[in-house]
Amino acid sequence: MRDKHKLAIHGGQPVRERYLPYGRQWIDEDDVQAVVDVLRGDYLTTGPELARFEQSIASYVGAKYAVAFANGTAALHAACYAAGISPGDEVITTAITFAATANCILYQGGIPVFADIEPRTCNVDPQSISDLITEKTKAIIPVDYTGQPVDLDAIRKIAADYNLVVIEDAAHALGATYKGQKIGSLSDMTMFSFHPVKQITTGEGGVITTNSTDYYEKLLQFRTHGITRDPTKLSLPGGPWYYEMQFLGLNYRLTDMQAALGTSQLQKIDRFIRRRQTYAGIYNAAFQPLRQLRLPYQSQDGVSSWHLYIIRLNLDQLTVGRREIFEALQQENIGVNVHYLPVYWHPYYQKLGYKKGLCPNAETLYEEMITLPLYAAMTERDVQDVITGVKKVVAHFAR
């Protein structure tokens, strides 16, 4: 049946000749030259470019400190360590996120507790967080889903009331603002990701921003095996060569090559985000008349940096389910995706004892959503191709 649907839609010709991915990096000659300059220099890793990149990120978001890591997952793991997450501690997070958000809790022996989402914003619901707090709760990891900031005022109030640490997963949200302030300076610790589909890239990479000197020092030491050379922290006197491993850290360092790329990319971030915002606006205007779709809701408290553009299908207005729509769009060479499977649906989490049904709003969202291509390197022709493909498929399957 699906093959017949595809043939009927296409008429033998897809909307695009070439496949359009849902996201990709935008690298120019300035970026290439920045990396080449490092390759011709004295340091390839943990050198001056790393410090420069960290300072640039901290300045951009308005935080006192930034500590870069090999990837966003490593950064989240380090944040959980710095927050003191230990075996048996509960950490509340959202069900709709990449698995790394919850995995970092497990790495420290903690217990992920999944809160439901707000149906409109698709961000974690503060009331659901509040309902799940127990005497074992140690921290909250909210996610700025798709680039839209969470309700930070409500979450920070909960954290203050119960003496909890807030580790904001802003992997999607570099450049976003909440009530006029940049995301990255408002929570105890904030993580940004620099994967190629994000607002800027270092290839792989992540960072934690914080205003806490204590967290900053723990993060630095954790990413380098738990080793320090700081004379004020050494347990024994030693020569200028002397260093100590004081706890079990990991090798989570970012290279100078990656840092140089990140610094170059950061100089263009405002332009990148403006293009994402413009394209999201074009999508909104084009899709608003379609009763088969629900478009992304944007809270008045925040300005999204638009990592993802997600449509929700009104399935009662369609003759088929999400899978048929998804596959038909792929046949049009539109690189759709789905973000994300509820974390506790993954087989590993099922084996840990989590059951389906924990977060009804999140599960409903998962069954209805499709991610459309959105990234700065797209052209307006690419955007119009996506619009044409979506309208074509929706019209074919409309009730």
Distance, in Å, from the CA atom of 229 to the CA atom of 22, rounded to the nearest integer, reads 44
**Neighbour tally for 247: CB within 10 Å:** 13
Nearest to 163 by CA among 183, 140, 184, 142: 140
Q: Between β-strands 177-178 and 111-115, what pairing exists: parallel, antiparallel or unpaired?
A: unpaired
Residue 338, C-beta contacts closer than 8 angstroms, at least 6 positions apart: 326, 366, 369, 370, 371
Which amino acid belongs to residue 374? L
The runs of H, that is alpha helices, within the chain are 2-10, 29-39, 48-61, 72-82, 100-107, 126-132, 152-162, 213-222, 256-266, 269-287, 322-331, 347-351, 360-368, 380-397
Structure tokens at 351: 């084996």
Catalytic residue among 198, 218, 233, 356: 198
Active site residue 355: no
Distance, in Å, from the CA atom of 342 to the CA atom of 189, rounded to the nearest integer, reads 24
Distance, in Å, from the CA atom of 171 to the CA atom of 192, rounded to the nearest integer, reads 4
Residue 360, C-beta contacts closer than 8 angstroms, at least 6 positions apart: 116
Report phi then psi at 205, rounded to 5.
160, 160
Residues marked as catalytic: 198
